[in-house]
A and B are shown apart, each in its own frame.
Chain A
Amino acid sequence: MLEINRVSKTFNPGTINQKTALNGLTLHLNPGDFCTVIGGNGAGKSTMLNAIAGVWPVDEGNIIIDGSNVTQLSEHKRAMFLGRVFQDPMTGTAATMGIDENLALAARRGHRRTLKWGVTKQEQTQYRELLASLDLGLEDRLTSKVGLLSGGQRQAITLLMATLKQPKLLLLDEHTAALDPKTAAKVLELTDKIVAQHHLTTLMITHNMRDAIAHGNRLVMMKDGQIVLDIAGEEKRKLTVEQLLERFTDASDRMILG
């Protein structure tokens, strides 16, 4: 479903701030893979997601989503393949627009936007039901401005927006990191539910090793812009935090020795 082939990206080349964020990164995801991504600060986790989303062009390599080579496509054109949820709850929604308007924007991802009305009555009914399934009491606030909602509510809506038009690939960039533990757990639970419901191929970055183990069928660890550990299947199911920490040290040592 996703192929990242030998992708490299260096920021500020030729300056003292030069930083190689991705260094020949290769990662293949099968359809339905729910892959969690861990790694230290500066390992290139968010950079990888941004490379897939096309926030800026990559220096080398190519990115293929569901058979289409998207390497040269601009960010807004790739959006038709992707659902994205960001770390900052403010990033994923338009604060000055209503909940229904935000969802309607997402429902038209990958379609030509015409001069038809932005939100239809029929959509509003559909969205109300969808919001009711979140169990956050948002179904009664359909036309409220998203800016009035809490961080957790906004992330839940962003998650809905990301999956309203079924994406080929769901990108979650530490989407619970800015939430309190209880809300984070709820948003993660919702994530599991939605991913399972639509059999979405998912990449989820997290700083929480327990979450990385508990969710998904595959786990990769990044370091210095590369994948240094890739655990799937039975091995992933039996994984513990202690083992992971051990592997983390191993991987680090290997990098130093190698």
Chain B
Amino acid sequence: MAYFASLNPHALLNSCPGGVAQGLIWGIMALGVYLTFRVLNVADLTVDGSFATGGAVCIMLVLAGWNPVLALLVSFAAGVIAGLVTGFLHTALGIPDILAGILTQISLYSINLNIMGKANQAVNVNKVALPFTSNAKLLSRTIGITAVVVVALISLLYWYLGTETGSALRATGTNPNMSRAQGINTDFMKVLGLALSNGFVAVSGGVLSQYQGFADVNMGRGAIVIGLAAVIIGEVLGEGLMHNKLNFWLRLMWVAIGSVIYYIVYVFVLWLKFPADDMKLLTAIVVAIFLAVPYLKAKYFTRSYTVKYMTRRRKGEK
């Protein structure tokens, strides 16, 4: 009882807008993860590093007096370069995609420390006007701007994937053999996809660093898992609620919504006084379960399995 009495509904209500803002910011990151994980069919672990790189670059440029929006463009470029490196390791040097991502990620840790000169850097948010501020008075504006950015990026991604090169990118992810037979340079498309994806991720890191007023070398730790959580939550809900009305644009929309839902749940679980230290464990478990569901469904809940099981039962076997 004492536990329930200690929960303050007002506090939950107060922390919700922050959850929405963070969810939208991570939504940009989730779009990047969608591009590699779903479109290109590659689990790219570069993102844990490039997310922090985006944040580090953005904060250092703002500290140097740059326009915060311009700083985000440089974050994007930094992410693109990180993706190019992973792509190079994978396609030109033949390193398996996951390992290539890990190598870039681990080297980015050092690079991020070099960019910032120490483990974290902060801007004085009272002196610098940032478009993506977490200042409580301007939070609704931040949410508005972020939402516009997210929708713009979704539209951009939607447009690009519909073009000739974008189609080639999708084909590469679906069937590389067929793609090469149709004259598509699959290595190039993979590098391009990885670059674009990490560009998105770095922008997300940059926006988050503005939001929280600092960048930290560890800010991207486990980012891939959060990105996957957003993608999966979005897909499950989107497919469940919209069925065949779920076109590709809406599918991308649901990825961003998935990220917002993830953060609202995050806020809620923290409000329930779940230890913050255990949140990454909880996220990992949730993602593992959701990733396992399609596999287990295909293995145990198909018609043929049920029929076999039922027949065996009827025959009196166990």
Contacts and interface: CB of A to CB of B under 8 A. Distances in A.
B167 A97 contact: yes
Given A76-B185, A84-B181, A161-B182, A93 B175 contact: yes
Given A79-B182, A84-B181, A91-B177, A115 B171 contact: no
Given A93-B175, A119-B167, 5 more contacts: A79-B183, A92-B178, A96-B170, A101-B167, A105-B167
Contacts of B117: none
Given A95-B175, A97-B174, A118 B163 contact: yes
Interface in B66-96: none
B184 A113 contact: yes
Given A96-B174, A97-B174, A105 B182 contact: yes
- Nearest 7 CB-CB pairings of A with B: A79-B183, A118-B167, A113-B164, A94-B174, A109-B183, A75-B180, A84-B181
B311 interface: no
Interface in A98-153: 101, 104-106, 108-111, 113-119
B70 to A, nearest CB: 25
Contact of A97 (B160, B171, B177): B171
A94 B180 contact: no
B164 A118 contact: yes
Contacts of B131: none
Contact of B181 (A90, A92, A117, A119): A92
B163 A94 contact: no
B186 interface: yes
Which size class do B's interface residues fall under? 20 to 34
Q: Among the interface residues B160, B162, B175, B178, which one has the most CB atoms of the partner chain A within 10 A?
A: B178
Interface of B: 160, 162-168, 170-171, 174-175, 177-186
Interface of A: 53, 74-77, 79-80, 82, 84, 86, 90-97, 101, 104-106, 108-111, 113-119, 161
A80 B163 contact: no
A94 B171 contact: yes
Contacts of A77: 183
Contacts of B162: 117-118
A82 B164 contact: no
Nearest to B163: A115
A110 B183 contact: yes
Contacts of A113: 164-165, 167-168, 184
Nearest to A83: B181
B187 to A, nearest CB: 9
Contacts of A114: 163-165
B170 A109 contact: no
Q: Among the interface residues B164, B167, B180, B182, which one has the most CB atoms of the partner chain A within 10 A?
A: B182
A91 B175 contact: yes
15 contacts: A75-B181, A82-B181, A90-B175, A93-B178, A94-B175, A94-B178, A96-B170, A96-B174, A108-B164, A108-B182, A113-B167, A115-B163, A115-B164, A115-B165, A116-B163
